[in-house]
Structure formats: structure tokens, C-alpha cells
A = this chain, B = another copy of it.
Amino acid sequence: MLVSALLMSVGINSCLCVLLFTLYSVLRKQPHNYEVFLPRRLAAGTSKRRRNKVARYIPSVRWIWKSWRPSEKDLMDSSGLDGVVFMRMITFSLKVFLFAGIIGTFVLLPVNCFGDQLIQINYADWSANSLDLFSVANLKTRSPWLWVHFGAIYLVTAFVCCLLYLEFRYIGLKRIEHFNSSRAQPQQFTILVRNIPSSDGSSVSETVDRFFTENHFSTYLSHVVIHRTSKLRSIVDNAKKLYKKVKHKKPDAPRVRKTPIVRFFSRKDTPEDHYEKVLHELEQNIRLGQAEVSTPGKEVRAAFVSFKTRYGAAMALHMPQSINPTYWLTEPAPEPHDVHWPFFSASFMQKWLAKIVIVFACLLLTVLFLVPVVLVQGLTNLSALEYFFPFLTLILSMKIVSQIITGYLPSLILQTSLKIVPPIMEFLSSIQGHICHSDIQKSACNKVIWFTIWNVFFATVFSGSAFYKLSVIFDPKEILVKLAVAVPAQASFFIAYVVTTGWTDTLTELFRVVPFMVSYVKRSLEPTDDNELVIPPMRYHRDTPRVLFFGLLGITYFFLAPLILPFILLYFVLAYVIYRNQFINVYEPKYDTGGMFWPMIHYTMIFSLVLMHGIAIGLFALKKMELATYLLVPLPVFTLLFNEFCRKRFMPIFTAYPAEVLTKRDREDQNDPRMSEFYNNLVTAYQDPALLPLRFSGSRNDSLTSPLLSSTSSEV
């Protein structure tokens, strides 16, 4: 790639950035956009709908300042530990690339530039790929300057590892602190028990009761058996939807002027008493369904079991329960509103097989996804494109077109097709048998991370053909050298990728393009203020892998093509401002995993480091630096040992809270007068919402009357 093409790309994107930042500062001030850009502040009532028409149209940068200001504690209060972890991932990357960027720009870049390998070999060739002048490819074989790179690799690895250690410790402590400062919550006192064995003549509820009174008599409080309610749930959901519709249609709501489009699409006058009748029928159905589902035969062999103390719950959680280890499986209970109720009533075997099937499905998806990746790679080779579509030759020969195509289009196409991956992965995770939404997101996040690394990084690097790539896997001896050849060759693609995809990504995030468009269309169809305000949750499984991938790119390319570093640094600055803004104004946490995303981030960073070491070893071998090659081998070994140490040192905090913390909290609660009320609520906290009594007809307030269902609980 030519420097000019890169400059073109940078130019387009910088202009776009400035333009969109300005546009955003205006748009967010328009009252009808508050739902899109400031839903949180709207819900909190901190943002008044200003009517000052003049100030609304003047661009400003005050929002950047506002998003910069809040402290980490504020962020913790508003977005939970998960939000803090996400932002710390970005600040962590900022620190790393500030350090690496200084080394890269002021040490490695000049060293690379003063090499003369490429000029010697083939002047014509390098002028076509002038970006390579700044890369390590410009250094001669056995050049003593390569030792500078060697030193830089050790230095950056040490820096990243230190930072990773501190960060892991910090987040671990934050997690404990967060737990200590939280109020008593049902999930702290509850565990989920699965695979309850069937015993003759007694219901699941009785079995659970007997087992826990026998084996954990001092701490057992109550339990809620789970029922098979997927069918019932769909009826309830339908009824709720219908109810909402009817409520909107009620004459007490002021008749709004319909735009012509709405009038065209809306149904002919449907009599309201028809709805009323349907609702009444549905209510009857639901009641019958609830009664049917609550019968003993319809129970899932699983239950939420609550304990009197956190310590008691942890005890039951950690201890193996049954002689047959596939029975009485325990796992921590999620927050009550986080439970993924339609989780299927899988047995031990089914759940395990589902997991295996999902792994295969993910592999399949990864393989199928190579098609768009290979197509995109065709675009960076203009000659290949001309070969396949000869009629394009004329257009492609225009300089500006060819520059746009090589500099901008490939990553745009790749990015668009990548957009569909997170939802697919989320769906796959949801049928894997996770019991709560946060677990589904965690699992999806993990899948998307590896998918992105594999399909964007490796598939692009080994882009010759998909088959060539597969053959490399089976040839481990050669893989490092091949990586060392292939990775630097794609440097220009990835620099362009950072500038285009990276920057636009954050801007799309800022603009919330899809919700913005949806809101616009909706408003033009039905301009009513009655729209319910929906505060979206942050989709961590979509954004975390994206940010992590740029971290991986930065780490692997920092010594190969240091030119990438300023752009990556700029990306992280953008991400910092924009995500903070979004956390404050847009996203509201739906659940709290307690910082469980950090281990994933940590492992991905370690992977990036080891990958970088592998490429470096291959490169030094290629450049015939035997001593440097051998001296580099301990580096990945030590990094992996460091990772293992961190895993042993910090992971236990992330899997369970220690006894020390639990007993402290329990003691604090002993004298709390609110605890008796809490225990009363705890008994019903894990009721399936589909089994709660609903009333639509008659007085129209969908109240939740006291849950008097069969499988409640029994205090010991």
C-alpha cells in the first residue's frame, strides 16, 4: 500500500470524525433525540427537555468534557463493576500503547527507516508498497539494528505483564469491595440445584426439603422448584403485548393525528370490547396453564435453594453433595431478574452433549465465515479483481477509485459481515444451557473473541487461500516462520483497518446508528410522546472483543510496523471518550457479573503477547539472528508461566467469594433489623414470573398479588 493511500484513508476518516462529533453535539441536544442519545439521563430526570431553540443548533465540545469528568466511583455507581472493567480495559490499552507508542515511534520507526534493505533490492517494488519502508522488513539480514527490536520486545512484554498483574489484583480487590458494600441480595443466599434424583412417591419439592434438612440442617431456609413453563410463558407474553396495545388504544389516551403512512398501515376500526374479550380468554388460559404447570408432574428436576447465611449457601455450593456426582449439582444462583427462564430442563448428559454440539457449531461457523474473508482479501489485490471482473479495469485504473478500494472498502465489507457474528454467538450460547443472561453474554463474548482473532487476524494473514491456511496448521515446524513472513506482509491492511474500521466503529457506537434510525422512522410514522422509554443494556459480548482485537493488533504489530501505534493510540482515546459518554448517558446495567469479564481480557492479552513472541522468533530466524532467536524462546515460556501464576493467584476470587468475606458480611447482618423482611422476600425471590398471578381485565393495573403457588417453600 502506498503512503498516499494511507494518508487518503486517514484524511477521510479524520474529516468524518470531526464532522460526526460536531453533528452529534447538535443532534443530542434535540429533544426528540433524547431517547436515543440520553435515555439514562431522561429516565433519571436529570436532563430537562430544553426548548431554547438557538443554543440547540450550536455545536459544542462540552459533552466530551462531561464524559471525561466522572470518577471511577461514579462509574461504578452508575454502571456497575462490569462498566468499570470495560473502561479499565481501555485505560489499560491506553497505557500499554502509550509506552509501546513512545518506543515504537521514537526508537523503532527511525531504526526501520534508516535500513536500506528494500531500496537495495528493488526500487520499483518498494515504491508500490512504500509503507514497508517504516516496517522491520526494511532492515537487512543479520542487521545489528535488530537487537533494538529484540530489546523492545522484552521491554514491552515486561511492561504489559506488570500492568496485567496490577490490573488483575486491582479488579479482584474491587470485586471484594463491591461485594462488601452491596446490600444483602437474594443471589448471595441462594444456590441453584440441578439433577435432583427422583425418589418414589415424593415430589421434587419434598425431596429437596428432605435432602437439605438432612445434610445442611443448620443453614437451610427454603426452596423454589422450577417448572416447565416455556409454553405458558409464550401465552403470558402474548397477553402482555395485547394488553399494552389495548391500553394504548384506550379512549382516555388523546387521539393523535395520524400521518398518512400510519393511516394506510393501521387496521380498520377494531372494536375495543373484542380485545377485552380476547384478554379475558387469555387470562383464563393463563390461570388454567399455571394450575396445570404447578402440578407435581410438570416439575423440572431443579430448584433454587435459599439459606439463612451467605456462608451456608457457599458451603452447599462448594461441597460435593451426592454419592452419584451427577445428582444434586450445585451452581451459584444468578440475580433473580437475570435468570434465563427458558433454560431447558436438561439432564446432566443432555447439557454436556449440548455443549459439545455447540462447540462443533461454532467451528462450523468459523469455517463458513472464511468465504467473506477471502472475498475481502480479493479486493486488496486489485489485479485479482481485474482478473475476475475484466469490465472493471477502466474504473479501477482511476487512481482515486483504486485508492478508495484498497484503503477503505475491504475492511468495511469485513466489518459489515462481522456485525452478524455477536448475535449468532449469543444465540448459540443461549441454547448451550446457561441459566442466566450474564452467563450467556460471557460465553458469547468468549466465542466472539476467538472468532474475531481467528477469522479476522489469521484468515487475513494467511489469505492466499483457505486451504493453504489449513495445511499450515498441520505443519507446526514451519508455522512460526510462515507467520513471520505472512504477518508483516499484511501490515498495511491492518493499519488501514485500524484507521477505517476502528475509528468508524467507535463513531457508530456514539451515534447508535440503528436505534437512531429506528427512532426516526418510528417518529415519522407515529409522532407520539407515549413511546415507552427503553434504556438499552451494554452489549459487552459485542464491544469487548472489538476493543480487544485492536489491542491484539497493536501488540503483534508494534515491532513489525510501528507506524500502526499512533493510529491505535488514537483509536483508544476515541474509545475512551465515547464509551464513557455512552455509559453515562445511554447504557444501564441489567445485571452485574462482578467483573467476570476481566479474566477473558487478561487471557486475550496473554495470547497476544505469546503470538507476538512467536512471530518475533520466526522473524529473527528469517533474518538469520540465531542468538536472538534462542534468547527469545524463554520469553513465551515465562509469559505462560506468569499467566499460570496469575490464574492461580487471582482466579479463585473470580469464581467464588472466600469464607473470610462471607462470614464478615454475615456477622454484619446479624444485628440488622431489616433482615427478617429480607428473608421473607428471599423465599419468593426466585418465583418464575410466568407463574405469578396476572390480572388484565377489570381494574386495569397489572398488579403482582402475593404469590401463592404450590412450590413455594417451607421455613425450617
Contacts and interface: CB of A to CB of B under 8 A. Distances in A.
Contact of A658 (B216, B322, B348, B653): B322
A641 to B, nearest CB: 7
Contacts of A657: 320
Interface in A647-662: 648-653, 655-661
Interface string A313-349: 0111011111111100000000000000000000011
Nearest to A653: B325
Contacts of A356: 641
B660 A215 contact: yes
A176 interface: yes
Contacts of A653: 320, 323, 325
Contact of A216 (B211, B477, B659): B659
A645 interface: yes
Given A352-B648, A476-B476, A215 B321 contact: no
A81 to B, nearest CB: 16
A369 to B, nearest CB: 24
A319 B326 contact: no
A321 B474 contact: no
Given A319-B315, A477-B474, A652-B320, A659 B325 contact: no
Contacts of A659: 215-216, 316, 319-322
A323 B474 contact: no
Given A315-B315, A648-B352, A215 B322 contact: no
B645 A321 contact: no
Contacts of A648: 325-326, 348, 352
A320 B658 contact: yes
A218 interface: yes
A214 interface: yes
A663 interface: yes
A634 to B, nearest CB: 13
Interface in A608-657: 641, 645, 648-653, 655-657
B319 A314 contact: yes
A658 B214 CA distance: 13
Contact of A319 (B318, B321, B649): B318
A689 B211 CA distance: 42
Nearest to A325: B652
Given A215-B663, A356-B641, A649 B325 contact: yes
Which of A318, A323, A645 has its CB near the most chain B CB atoms (within 10 A)? A323
A475 B477 CA distance: 8
Nearest to A214: B663
Contacts of A645: 349, 352
Contacts of A215: 659-660, 663
A474 B476 contact: yes
Contacts of A316: 659
A653 B324 CA distance: 8
A660 B323 contact: yes
Interface string A649-688: 1111101111111010000000000000000000000000
A214 B323 CA distance: 31
Contacts of A349: 645
Interface string A158-201: 00000000000000010010000000000000000000000000
Interface in A211-239: 211, 214-216, 218
A195 to B, nearest CB: 12
Nearest to A324: B649
Given A215-B660, A352-B645, A648-B352, A176 B323 contact: yes
A345 B568 CA distance: 48
A323 B641 contact: no
A326 B641 contact: no
Contacts of A476: 474, 476
A528 B651 CA distance: 62
B660 A321 contact: yes
A323 B663 contact: no
Which of A325, A352, A653, A655 has its CB near the most chain B CB atoms (within 10 A)? A325
A650 B323 CA distance: 9
27 contacts: A176-B323, A214-B663, A215-B660, A216-B659, A314-B319, A315-B318, A318-B318, A320-B653, A320-B656, A320-B657, A320-B659, A321-B658, A321-B659, A321-B660, A322-B658, A322-B660, A323-B658, A323-B660, A325-B649, A325-B650, A325-B652, A325-B653, A352-B645, A356-B641, A474-B476, A475-B477, A476-B476
Interface of A: 173, 176, 211, 214-216, 218, 314-316, 318-326, 348-349, 352, 356, 474-477, 641, 645, 648-653, 655-661, 663
- By Cβ-Cβ distance, the 6 closest A-B pairs, closest first, are A325-B652, A318-B318, A320-B658, A215-B663, A215-B659, A319-B659
Given A215-B659, A321-B659, A348-B648, 5 more contacts: A315-B315, A315-B318, A323-B658, A325-B649, A326-B648
